[in-house]
Amino acid sequence: MILYTCAGKKYELEVVGGFKRLPGSRRGKRERIVELTGQEDVPVLVTDAGTVVAGSQEIVDWAGAHPAG
């Protein structure tokens, strides 16, 4: 994992393997994503409070509603 800071928020980035359009390439690589969201798609945000936010726009919306401070 890599630690980043953006807009006053610190976060870790975890890269998962596999490509959506390459059949079988995700096999065994996204169990944690499925565990959290019920799907294999990323991005997924897991907050310090344990809230799971899936999807790019949903993450943007969450960040706008929870400014750093």
For all residues of the chain together, what is the average pLDDT?
85
CA 49 to chain centre: 14
Q: The whole model's pTM is what?
A: 0.78
> Has residue 58 got a pLDDT over 80?
yes
> Has residue 60 got a pLDDT over 70?
yes
> Has residue 61 got a pLDDT over 80?
yes
For residue 19, give every residue at least 6 positions away whose Cβ sits within 8 Å of its Cβ, in sequence order, or none: 25, 26
CB 40 within 8 A of CB 26: yes
* Of the listed ranges 3-7, 13-17, 25-29, 40-44, the one predicted with least confidence: 25-29
The CA-CA-CA angle for residues 16, 29, 57, to 5°, reads 45
Q: What percent of the chain has pLDDT over 90?
A: 36
Alpha-carbon span 22 to 27, nearest angstrom: 11
